Amino acid sequence: MATDTHPSRTGAGGAGHTLRRLLLDNGALSALVVLLVAMSLLSGDFLTTQNLLNVGVQAAVTAILAFGVTFVIVSAGIDLSVGSVAALSATVLAWSATSAGVPVWLAVVMAVATGIACGFVSGALVAYGKLPSFIATLAMLSVARGLSLVISQGRPIPFPDSVSVLGDTLGGWLPVPVLVMIAMGLVAALVLARTYIGRSMYAIGGNEEAARLSGLRVKKQKLAIYALSGLFAAVAGIVLASRLVSAQPQAAQGYELDAIAAVVIGGASLAGGVGKASGTLIGALILAVLRNGLNLLSVSAFWQQVVIGVVIALAVLLDTLRRKAGSGTAAAAGPSAAPGTPGKGRKAAVQLGVAVVCVAAVMAAVTFFKSGSSGDTTKVGMSLSTLNNPFFVQMKEGAQEQAKAAGVDLTVTDAQNDASQQANQLENFTSSGVDSVIVNPVDSDAAGPGVRGANKAGIPVVAADRGVNKAETATLVASDNVAGGKLAAKTLADRLGGKGSIIVLQGTAGTSASRERGAGFAAGIKAYPGIRIVAAQPADFDRTKGLDVMTNLLQSHPGITGVFAENDEMALGAVKALGSKAGKSVSVVGFDGTPDGLTAVEAGTLYASVAQQPKELGKIAVQNAVRAADGKKVDGMVKVPVKVVTRQNVADFS
């Protein structure tokens, strides 16, 4: 009887075949290779050693979180709490080691125990409380974030130097976060592939009832699974805080979504039973490569979100089509199908087609949306704390106007009030070789390591609106938030005749702007003993939250005569809640002098706004960045004056 044999592939041909099979059988890996090729073609700065190390560092926290989330998703659950648990664990470590005087090693143990405890509670709610994992971990998200704010009192806490080495480098070039990421990835892979609990995860995710009937203690296994997720979240929080040399109570917001995205991009199924640590790592790297590359290519901060979303969808689509093509050809060809059959060719063609679409989409989007520049122009990178606030949008507009007038290539990025994301952006600016950097810090301490990196590279840094601690800046262009708060207190007190009851709407807890404006107002209002603050509640610099919080407070304090809001957006929300009382029986004072705020001042519904002239601030920041890049002398401090705008002078203000 004849036996069919296939020629063996050896040498270069065999290696090429192996690589081809590896790429075709791993959709996420194919997508990562496609992205690496696309970014390399579009940016000459992408494939440098320093930038690739930056990508690894920027992927580390998301990857470590995602390894823990992989356990939960493989077992057909979901964990929305990992970002908040990471922040809480880091806060516990920093507070224990600095404020409570606990030995650092014990503080680290307490931080890890905190993460495990949070995961254990979530697991108990799911396994014994019968709550859906979405609800149980959503509750833990809120509890952990709240405890982080309570412990820290909304303020960043310095991290112990002995632990901060986890955010540093070995030998001056090898980032420790990358080593931690690799170590945790190996642990995750070992747990999934070689342990009883790992096999239990796949069994529970594949069919929970069948797993229970086969004798598996499903409830106890779920406790362990969620506790493991909490453990990985704690490690991620420690690494993140080490990078920022401070524990930020608002750190890692939204990271749970990145972690889930990394797991799904890596080939895991949200229905459970499928997932690998290697795929999760690839998913985290895809997200990091996207953000890094788009920064290097000067893609608009607004369009970056669109491009990232599209590429994530394409990456998952590639893997889905690969799976469908594989199952379809297997069914059609039967078990005896040989390589090179039409079914195999169709499968390869489908994947190649999707890969081409991915490359084309990335290159077309980036080419269309990035700003062009020539090699002779001065390149300036600008990292803003957020663009979800009219004040900073105006600062960006002023900077762009000045850059256009001066022929400067300005790249603006949005840190989205995330100190870690801002650290990534500063690293990207440094590796891309900009001539100078403008940073509007999310937090003055957390911006320090990124600015020090620019200092080492000989790139001058201009701080805008807020200073940077423990790093060298060429100049600080800012108005005084504390002085502005005092000015707001005097303006409101004079309006009320030195007596009355007022409400204070606070900004996002933990941000320097909220702390400084609130401290200035509190100090200023002490000079008026006849004025009583009956309530002070956060509304997160948001107009909708300002409306909701003010509406609630009016139920218990209907007789108030004044409101101070730490920005105009919250003030406008308060005006809406007050209705006909605004500008008549109740005087509202805001902060920032935004266009909508000035319109309300002119209409009389907003009594006054402490205007900082953000457009002017942006223009002056660019002027000084260019001077510093040219090696010219700049003043160490440039003050942009604040001004109280009322109905009497609003027509003269711009």
d(CA 218, CA 207): 11
Strand partners, 463: 439, 476
CA 243 to chain centre: 14
pLDDT tens sequence across 249-274: 989 998 999 999 999 999 898 889 99
pLDDT tens sequence across 403-419: 999 999 999 999 988 89
Domains 379-478+616-640 and 481-611 share a fold: yes
Domain boundaries 481-611, CATH class? alpha beta
Are the CB atoms for 427 and 415 separated by under 8 Å? no
Strand partners, 175: 169
Are the CB atoms for 573 and 545 separated by under 8 Å? yes
What is the model's pLDDT at position 328?
Answer: 59
What is the model's pLDDT at position 351?
Answer: 52
Indicate the pTM of the whole model. 0.80
Are the CB atoms for 540 and 505 separated by under 8 Å? no
What is the model's pLDDT at position 62?
Answer: 96
Are the CB atoms for 616 and 391 separated by under 8 Å? no
* Spans of the chain below 70 pLDDT: 1-26, 315, 318-319, 322-323, 325-375, 510, 654
Number of Cβ within a 10 Å radius of residue 385: 27
What is the model's pLDDT at position 3?
Answer: 42
DSSP state of 462: E
The 3-class SS string of 517-570 reads HHHHHHHHHCCCCCEEEEEEEECCCCHHHHHHHHHHHHHHCCCCCEEEECCHHH
Domain boundaries 379-478+616-640, CATH class? alpha beta
What percentage of the chain's residues is helix, strand, coil (to nearest 5)? 60, 10, 25
What is the model's pLDDT at position 343?
Answer: 54
What is the model's pLDDT at position 311?
Answer: 74
What is the model's pLDDT at position 640?
Answer: 84
Domain residue spans in the chain? 18-43+297-328+344-370, 59-286, 379-478+616-640, 481-611
d(CA 591, CA 250): 23
Which residues lie closer than 8 Å to 91 by C-beta, 6 or more apart?
147, 148, 151, 152, 157, 247, 249
Which of 639, 640, 611 lies closest to 487, judged by CA? Answer: 611
What is the model's pLDDT at position 444?
Answer: 87
Task: Give me 304's structure tokens.
Answer: 């970056």
What is the model's pLDDT at position 580?
Answer: 94
d(CA 255, CA 592): 30
